[in-house]
Amino acid sequence: MNNKESRPGKDAENELAAKEERYTDDETTQQDKLSEQDAAIEEELLKDSDGELPEASNDEIRAAVSSADSVQQAPKGGSGKAWIIVSAVLAILLVVVLIKPPFGASNETVATVNGVNISKDRLYDELVLAGGTATLDNLITQELIAQEAKAASVTVTDADVDSEIALIKKSFGTEEEFAATLAQYNMTLESLVKDTKINLTIRKILEPKTDVTEDEIKQFYDTNKESLGTPEQIQASHILVAAKEEADAILAELKQGGDFAAIAKEKSIDPGSKDKGGDLGFFGKGAMVPEFEEAAFALKINEISAVVQSEHGFHIIKKTAEKAPVVPTFEEKKEEIKKQLIATEANELSEAWMAEIRAKAKITNSLTPEEAKDAATTAPKTE
């Protein structure tokens, strides 16, 4: 049972105000964009399953690489999934592996159909037709980023990547939810690590070009300090049954001294909690269905509720612990906010930066049609 379904779960004052509005709206904007990306990704994944690898324009590749920084730094918990959605775009663009040997042809058989051979050359040619141009262009983009990083003496260490991955994981409730989201977008931890290193490299290169001020940081804190902290939480257990009559009988038994945990193990139909004596752990408001939440938060510690009906059945709830909301101080969150705002500004600079380095580079691409080669080395149009 998941929480919602079954866990009853930044001259200048004007400029500063404008920037702050931008930052505080950033998450909503990103999430709206990602909803559209999500649908597009699923469509492309379906194509992939039919043997057709998706093609992507230079704009799409740059947008995927540059947008991931701001998405992963969004202040609220849903950002981890959003980052993974964007990263899934990168995973799709990197999916073609050019397997043709560097010298000469290969008639090595990779499959047979009723005795008819399919050669490695034939497979290679089909892969190039399906997605080779987009994949090679993506590799060109990665090489441009690597060269710019070397010129700027920028290095992304394994520790940097590990720290960023930890932040992404933190936005998920559990390791299981994180792993399930990766699987949903046909990604692995290894591909996420690779994409994260690219995104951190871009951010480190562009950080010196940003100008986040102390006033911006403080204003962001004042506007968002509640969401930066930990909201009120309670811990509760429940016994869930299908019929009200059975719930009434259990409630009567509890009033006569029955053991809540033992009865939950015996009679509850919630597979996620019954083996733990009905324990649901700690949760905040918005995690459970409304009827369950209202009843559970109204209880005193160790108090048992009346029978509560929800879409899942009939609950008897016992509140076992509570945690008061915690609002962090400005000093506690200052560096975290600064990092977030820098990442947002770096993201805003990334599209123009990618266009600039691509325009000045000398690129040859044998997979690009002759008439398109010049266009491939010029700055892309922005929408």
The residues spanned by each domain of the chain are 19-227+330-376, 233-323
**Does the pLDDT of residue 361 top 80, yes or no?**
yes
Nearest of 14, 129, 4, 69 to residue 354 by alpha carbon = 69
Q: Is the pLDDT of residue 76 over 80?
A: no
pLDDT of residue 114: 83
Report CA torsion sign: 139, 209, 192, 130.
negative
Structure confidence at residue 262 (pLDDT)? 97
Q: How far apart are CA 336 and CA 29, in angstroms?
A: 21
Share of the chain above pLDDT 70, in %: 68
What's the CA dihedral at 137, 139, 144, 149 to 10 degrees? 150
Give the residue, 161 or 9, on which the prediction is more confident.
Answer: 161
Q: Tell me, what's the pLDDT at 368? A: 67
Query: Which string of DSSP letters, residue by residue, matches 19-39?
Result: HHHHHHHHHHHHHHHHHHHHH
pLDDT tens-digit map of 198-226 = 889 999 999 999 999 999 999 999 998 88
pTM of the model: 0.51
19-227+330-376: what CATH class?
Answer: mainly alpha
CATH level 3 topology of 233-323: Chitinase A; domain 3 (3.10.50)
Q: Which residue has the higher pLDDT, 146 or 69?
A: 146
- Is 97 a residue whose pLDDT tops 80? no
What residues form DSSP beta bridges with 101?
A: none
**pLDDT for 39-55, tens place per residue?**
443 444 333 333 333 33
Please check the confidence at residue 331 and state whether its pLDDT lies above 80. Answer: yes
> What pLDDT is recorded for position 106?
60
pLDDT tens per residue, range 12-22: 444 444 444 44
Instruction: Report which of residues 258 and 106 the model is more confident about.
Output: 258
Distance CA 343, CA 322 (A): 35
Q: Exposed, middle or buried: residue 261 (CB in 10 Å: 0-12, 13-18, 19+)? A: middle
Minimum mean pLDDT among 66-80, 221-235, 253-267, 297-311: which range? 66-80
Is 282 in a helix, a strand, or coil? strand
Tokens of 150: 């070397």
Give the residue, 304 or 3, on which the prediction is more confident: 304
Here the tokens at position 335 are: 């560096």
Q: Comparing 19-227+330-376 with 233-323, is the CATH topology the same?
A: no
Q: Average pLDDT, stretch 362-382? A: 56
Distance in angstroms (rounded) separating the CA atoms of residues 192 and 82: 13
Mean pLDDT across the chain: 75
Instruction: Dump pLDDT digits (tens) for 244-296.
Output: 999 999 999 999 999 999 999 999 999 999 999 999 999 999 899 999 999 99
119-175 pLDDT per residue, tens: 888 888 888 788 887 888 888 888 999 999 999 999 999 999 998 888 888 777 678
pLDDT in tens, 336-356: 899 889 988 988 898 899 999
Task: Using the predicted structure, report yes or no on whether residue 69 has a pLDDT greater than 50.
Answer: no
Lowest pLDDT segment from 8-17, 60-69, 200-209, 319-328: 60-69
The pLDDT assigned to 105 comes to 52
